[in-house]
Amino acid sequence: MNPVTGLFGAATALRNGLFDRGLLSARRLQQPVVSVGNLAAGGAGKTPFVIGLGELLKARGVRFDVLSRGYRRKTRGVLVVEAGGNAAEFGDEPLLIARRLAVPVIVGESRHEAGLVAERRFQAELHILDDGFQHRSLARDFDVVLLTERDFDDRLLPFGRMREPLSSLRRADAVVLPQEFSGKNFPVHEAIIETLARQQKFIWRMRKDIAVASAPVSPVVFCGIARPRQFFAQVHAAGINPAAEVEFRDHHSYERRDIERLVRMRGKLGAGGFLTTEKDAVNLGAWQSELNPLAVAALSVTFDHPTEIVGTILARTNLTKIA
């Protein structure tokens, strides 16, 4: 093991141990908290899961809000996300969640402080804590952790993507796997999943798909997300043949030079227009008008057993009167 990775792992284990033994305490909100997180740095589908779970809760008539850090926003403190705002002010993923779910989304470095603001201003029965597995200073009533196939073989930061080892899943209540994932060809993977089941962890499955209402012919397809190859594969699966595929870094904040590069590429390749993700559309902001025509791929999620998922969460958070 690389010494730097070893130090990172030791620091993570020490911090978790202090919380586990009660030497570091977690503050509790008045209403129950459901945390949605992962072990790796990005790319597991937390935002789509939050949106999908939010849609299930809305269908049950549950009043909820979403608490988030607001990663890479340029503001500080606790803010209530305005759907008409911009990514620099609130962060791209909180803004996308607010627009898709039309529920209160509150960002803050301290999610406890964000939750207090939410409880003062809104009458939610439940808080969803976005990207909350490592944010242990806020007590939660149910922990959902999303895994990808890559997580089973990855390394800890800084030489891998893992923020915590797989052993941290002991803190989880439910583990979400990609619907297409099967550990049968990988005995170690299958053994881990079987161990989680023996520990009475809920094992749920989620599938992510895209829908494009009217894609231009041979578009320049671009994105700044954690797993761009997955998006490009979804585009091809939808029967779209890109003229080019362009990657930007995750949470990329678009500038004029990026737009000029994409426009030049369209002219050079004779592309019919542009295609990108909802998250990138948020980060484009006013630059969207410069990319014409621009199609935005809407992301949707499908759960294997949605009734079981929402029923379990409501039962574990003492909201069974709604279930």
Residue 173 backbone class (left: φ over 0; alpha: ψ -120 to 50; beta: rest): alpha
Confirm if 41 and 161 have CB atoms less than 8 A apart: yes
Give pLDDT tens digits along the chain (323 positions): 566 667 767 888 889 888 888 888 899 999 999 999 999 988 889 999 999 999 999 999 999 999 999 999 999 999 999 999 999 999 999 999 999 999 999 999 999 999 999 999 999 999 999 999 999 999 999 999 999 988 998 999 988 999 999 999 999 999 999 987 776 667 778 888 899 989 999 999 999 999 998 999 999 999 999 999 999 999 999 999 999 999 999 999 999 999 999 999 999 999 999 999 999 999 999 999 999 999 999 988 999 999 999 999 999 999 875 54
Give dist(CA 56, CA 10) in Å, integer: 39
Give dist(CA 300, CA 53) in Å, integer: 11
Confirm if 49 and 206 have CB atoms less than 8 A apart: yes
SS (H, E, C) the chain: CCHHHHHHHHHHHHHHHHHHCCCCCCECCCCCEEEEEECECCCCCHHHHHHHHHHHHHHCCCCEEEEECCCCCCCCCCEECCCCCCHHHHCHHHHHHHHHHCCCEEECCCHHHHHHHHHHHCCCCEEEEECCCCCCCECCCEEEEECCHHHHCCCECCCCCECCCHHHHHHCCEEEEECCCCCCCCHHHHHHHHHHHHCCCEEEEEEEEEECCCCCCCCEEEECCCCHHHHHHHHHHCCCCCCEEEECCCCCCCCHHHHHHHHHHHHHHCCCCEEEEHHHHHHHHHHHHHCCCEEEEEEEEEECCHHHHHHHHHHHCCCCCCC
Give pLDDT, residue 6: 72
Give pLDDT, residue 235: 97
Confirm if 161 and 42 have CB atoms less than 8 A apart: yes
Give dist(CA 250, CA 252) in Å, integer: 5
Give pLDDT, residue 185: 62
Closest CA relative to residue 44, chosen from 173, 158, 175: 175
Give dist(CA 26, CA 22) in Å, integer: 9
Give dist(CA 296, CA 210) in Å, integer: 10
